[in-house]
A and B are shown apart, each in its own frame.
Chain A
Amino acid sequence: MSPIAAPPAEAATYRRIIRRERHNSRSVAVSITLALVALGLAYVTVELVLGALELPALLVAPVDAVAVLNEPTVPVIAGSAVAVAIGLVLLIIALAPGRRARHEIPNTRMAVVVDDVVLAGALGRAGRVAASVPAQRVRTTVTARRALVSITPTSGIEVDAEATEAATSRVAAELAAKPPLTVSVSIAQSGVVGS
């Protein structure tokens, strides 16, 4: 079976897919924000129309609202502090990088994006097999650029630190995650009894 040729502009498509998969879309934040904004604006519209028709207001007539704008009352001041805080949170959501805890794994056929939890599992597994300890005694954490495999040995049985390090590094090298991971192994000073 001869490999089927790649369609044109495949590389650009993959770059786009991976970039979008590794970053948060902020769609949830936008949807919630705009739904609330729409509700708020709808309410303001109703009050404005009632005010223009000189009908009694639902809660606050526009005339009273303008008076409060010029001389804010205590609840209004508290409310505006909250509004500023929410505004700052929205700015942070909008401008932060929004990276997800995922890594890209280079592959010949497709775009591969793996959650950091899964990477941690794969590295922990390699460490566990090399150190021959049960799975509960291996704890692996993966962040954007590092992976730390912590192993608690069984009392009286020494763990081969070098072999463990070699095994985890081999898996990390095979996966070649992007951005690259620096793997380190830490073996606890005191072991525990039992399996």
Chain B
Amino acid sequence: MSSSNRFLNRLLLVVVGLALIGMGGWLLVAAYPQVLSVVPGLPETLPAVPETTVPVLWIAAVVTAVLAFLCLPWVFTRGRGRISYLLQEEGAAGSVSFDNAVASQLLDDALGTQPDVISVKVTSHRVRRRPALAIALTARNGSDLPRLLSAVTDAVEQLDAVVEQRIPVLLHVTSGVRASFAREQRVT
């Protein structure tokens, strides 16, 4: 539930992909100029890349340095948007703030006794400028999903009562590596 801009992610991959195809394609055509004669109206050979001069080298160096520098912040800002609190409000009577741990412990307690639950991980995120809760639940193999979902719904409603607000919640049910090694519960 990160805030990474997915359209820009796609756009960057397209740009880098097209740049690689363009450069590789240019070299391939330079090596095999025969392919140019397939399409009528094209020149017989590619225009020659001009000899380098010192000012051109400096300009090119600045361009590549700036591009390299622009890449780095992108790499380090993926997966942002996680926050440590569940709720933070300023009211007339003062401010109220709930830490993520409140939700984490409450849901752990409520779901820990469920036979199908292997682990529960609760994190808070910022979605559309408001806090939202993500519950990642690892379920046992072949669990009773309808029963499990209603147990989580009950637990989340308990949380609503505690914080006196409905925070958007995402429940993601996975079956992790631990689940695939764990024995299936035979007695239900």
A: which residues have CB within 8 A of B?
A: 1, 3-7, 9-10, 12-14, 16-18, 20-21, 23, 25-31, 33-35, 37-39, 41-42, 44-45, 48-49, 51-52, 54, 62-63, 66, 69-72, 76-77, 79-84, 86-91, 93-95, 102, 105, 107-115, 117-119, 121-122, 124-125, 128, 135, 171, 174-175
A-B complex: 8 closest residue pairs judged by Cβ atoms: A87-B20, A90-B17, A83-B24, A94-B13, A41-B68, A87-B21, A122-B145, A80-B27
The answer to whether B27 and A122 touch across the interface, beta carbons within 8 angstroms, is no
* Interface flag for B84 (CB, 8 Å): no
| B9 adjacent to A30 (CB under 8 Å) | yes
User: Is B35 located at the chain interface by the 8 A CB criterion?
Assistant: no
In the complex, are the beta carbons of B27 and A77 less than 8 A apart? Answer: yes
B86 at the interface (CB under 8 A from A): no
B170 close to A (CB within 8 Å): yes
Chain A residues touching B, majority SS: helix
Q: How many A-B residue pairs have CB under 8 A?
A: 264
Given known contacts A84-B21, A111-B170, A30 and B52 CB-to-CB distance under 8 angstroms: no
Q: Are B161 and A44 in contact (CB under 8 A)?
A: no
27 A-B pairs with CB atoms under 8 Å apart are A10-B166, A13-B168, A17-B127, A17-B170, A30-B9, A30-B78, A31-B78, A35-B75, A37-B68, A38-B68, A41-B71, A42-B65, A62-B57, A72-B28, A76-B27, A77-B27, A83-B21, A83-B23, A83-B27, A84-B24, A89-B17, A105-B149, A111-B168, A121-B142, A121-B143, A174-B146, A175-B145
Within 8 A of A (CB), among B29-54: 30-31, 48-52, 54
Q: Is the CB of B173 within 8 A of A41?
A: no
- Tell yes or no: B101 within 8 A of A by CB: no
Give, as a whole number of angstroms, the nearest-CB distance from B102 to chain A: 16
Is B144 among interface residues, defined by CB-CB distance under 8 A? yes
B143–A62 CB distance below 8 A: no
Complex contact B169–A111 (CB within 8 A): yes
Which A residues are CB-close (under 8 A) to B71? 34-35, 37-38, 41
A118 near B16 (CB under 8 angstroms)? no
Interface residues on B, range: 35 or more
Q: A125 touching B142 by the CB < 8 A rule?
A: yes
**Contact present for B170 and A38 (CB under 8 Å):** no
Chain B, residue nearest A71 (CB)? B30
Do the beta carbons of A113 and B57 come within 8 Å of each other? Answer: no
- B142-158 residues with Cβ-Cβ distance < 8 A to A are 142-146, 149, 152-153, 156-157
Tell me the minimal C-beta distance from B60 to chain A in angstroms. Answer: 5
Bound-complex Cα distance A21 to B141 (A): 22
User: Residue on A with the closest CB to B153?
Assistant: A109
Distance to closest chain A CB from B118 (angstroms):
11
Cα A124 to Cα B166 with chains together (Å): 34
Q: Is the CB of B20 within 8 A of A84?
A: yes
